Amino acid sequence: MNFFIKTFGCQMNVNDSEKIRHILREKGFSAVDNEADADIVIINSCAVREKPQAKIFSYAGRIPKGKIIIAAGCVAQAEKENILKKNPDIHYIVGTHGYHKIGSIIEEIGKEKKRGVEAGFSKQWQELTPYVEFRESPVSGYISIMEGCDNFCSYCIVPFTRGREKYRPFADIVREAEYLSAAGYREIVLLGQNVNNWRDERKNMKFSDLLDYLAGNTAVRWIRFITSYPGYYDGELIAVMAKHEKIARHIHFPVQSGSTRILKKMNRVYSRTRYLQIIKDFKKKIPAIKFSSDFIVGYPGETEPDFRLTLSLIGKVEYTSIFSFMYSPRKFTRAYKMQDDIPLDVKKERLHRLQDLQKTIQLRNNKKLIGSEIEALVTGPHPKKSGEVIGRTESYQVVNFVSGAAPGEIKRVSIKNVGPYSLRGEEL
Ligand code: SF4
């Protein structure tokens, strides 16, 4: 039988799809490139942003009739049988901890097209190293090092879709990193909801030890990691990054708000002062370090002075890029019970002000790069400009340049021109 996986959402979901592909191939199924050629369609869904169910249903509605349809991933985990009730075309729900059972689930669905739900949480890490040929990215080798979250930020659904934190054993991470490095990947990305809380208790190791080992023992050019939770920060991360230039000088370090009052309401455990102190410490020890972040505007109870504190924090940190969203309630979360009291027009206005400020900062800082020489990891051909490629810099900025380089190659580029969101260079 043939299968096709449609992935929505974050890198974690992309990596899960790679694992599902691996499992199904091991069971004798064949991967195909589109829904039409598939006997089984797996929809791997993301629940973090809005209208996730609607997205699944609209996609499921476009799948040709007669196929087995499985809803997997975060939405499936959170909504369980609700999805089956609302959509008769979907046969089975497979939550985020049920992927290893997906082969036997397909057998169970069988010719009778039985319906069911597999959405329990497992306490153990489920070990899987996807084949290289089933990796979605030829550029970045993604390695899951932990899954789940114990933090229960008031607005976030992740603890309900991924369960409590589980850490992958050190030896398994190292094996996958060596395998990707041997396969020619120039960049590996360590993945998890709270990577900086990773640990291997049997080996008495924590995240900085893992980075130290990987940086000293793999042949890749850059090691990245997403996402880091500021509440788990410890000073050893700075020390290990300062020690190894292979660890990219860029951290995605989501703050969400610049107001300590709102951070408390969000159940984030750090204050504005603490966050800014960490940033200051990083910049002092590693002057080239750059940050990106996530922001929520219009969180319940956010006043204009709270919002201005967010703007002023953005001004102080000078992020290279940010993701910013208007607050919207998510079922199951604590904030869902709070009054969503900031009017939509105020949320929109704040979002515009925040994005305008960030755009100004990005343009100003990007202009300082004109004339400099940087490395760029080629991510692929430019979709609109023939002969051009798109690359990413160490600080994860987009750089466009004329080149015949293949995805995954690293090139040296001289920066000639910039905009707020991208750089333009010339290959050296
Ligand atoms: S740290 Fe907070 S925002 Fe991040 S996954 Fe956990 S609950 Fe969600």
Strand stretches in 199-348, DSSP E: 199-200, 205-206, 222-226, 250-252, 290-297, 321-326
Q: How far is the CA of 230 from the centre of ligand 1 (A)?
A: 11
Residue 288 has pLDDT above 80, yes or no: yes
Q: How far is the CA of 364 from the centre of ligand 1 (A)?
A: 31
Q: Give the mean model confidence (pLDDT) for residues 49-60.
A: 74
Measured from the CB, is residue 322 less than 6 Å from ligand 1? no
Residue 348 has pLDDT above 60, yes or no: yes
pTM: 0.91
Q: How far is the CA of 369 from the centre of ligand 1 (A)?
A: 34
Give the CA distances from residue 69 to residues 66, 214, 268, 416, in Å, rounded to whole numbers and listed in that order: 9, 39, 38, 49
- Residue 309 neighbours by CB distance under 10 Å: 20
**Residues contacting residue 96 through CB under 8 Å, at least 6 positions apart:** 16, 72, 73, 74, 76, 77, 147, 161, 162, 163
**Residues contacting residue 325 through CB under 8 Å, at least 6 positions apart:** 49, 294, 295, 296, 297, 351
pLDDT score recorded for residue 48: 62
Which residue segments constitute the domains of the chain, with CATH numbers given? 2-118 (3.40.50.12160), 132-367 (3.80.30.20), 373-427 (2.40.50.140)
Classify the C-alpha dihedral 420-422-424-425 as positive or negative.
positive
Residue 125 has pLDDT above 90, yes or no: no
pLDDT bracket for residue 46 (50, 70, 90): confident
Lowest mean pLDDT of 104-113, 123-132, 244-253, 321-330, name the range.
Answer: 123-132
Q: Rg of the chain's alpha carbons, rounded to an integer?
A: 22
Beta bridge partners of 295: 256, 324
Measured from the CB, is residue 342 less than 6 Å from ligand 1? no
Q: Give the mean model confidence (pLDDT) for residues 75-92.
A: 86
User: What DSSP string describes 237-267?
Assistant: HHHHHHH-TTB-SEEE---B-S-HHHHHHTT
Q: How far is the CA of 194 from the centre of ligand 1 (A)?
A: 8
Measured from the CB, is residue 151 less than 6 Å from ligand 1? yes
Q: Of the candidates 46, 310, 263, 74, which has an alpha carbon nearest to the alpha carbon of residue 155?
A: 263
Tokens read off for 24: 């199904």
Q: Give the mean model confidence (pLDDT) for residues 137-145.
A: 92
156 phi, psi to nearest 5 deg: -105, 135
**What mean pLDDT value characterizes the chain?**
93
Q: Give the mean model confidence (pLDDT) for residues 129-154.
A: 89
Question: Look-up: residue for tokens 């209208």?
Answer: 51
Measured from the CB, is residue 158 less than 6 Å from ligand 1? yes
User: Which residue has a Cα nearest atom 2 of ligand 1?
Assistant: 153
- Give the whole-number percent of the chain exceeding pLDDT 70: 98
More confident residue, 415 or 159: 415
Pocket residue to mutate for ligand 1, from 11, 150, 193, 233, most atoms within 8 A of Cβ? 193
Rounded to whole angstroms, the Cα distance separating 329 from 314 reads 24
Core vs surface per residue 148-162: b (16+ CB within 10 A) or e: bbebebbbbbbbbbb
Q: Looking at the CA of residue 159, tell me the nearest atom of ligand 1.
A: 7
pLDDT bracket for residue 381 (50, 70, 90): very high
Residue type at 284 in one-letter notation: K
212 phi, psi to nearest 5 deg: -60, -45
Residue 427 has pLDDT above 70, yes or no: yes
Q: How far apart are the first and last CA of the chain?
A: 48
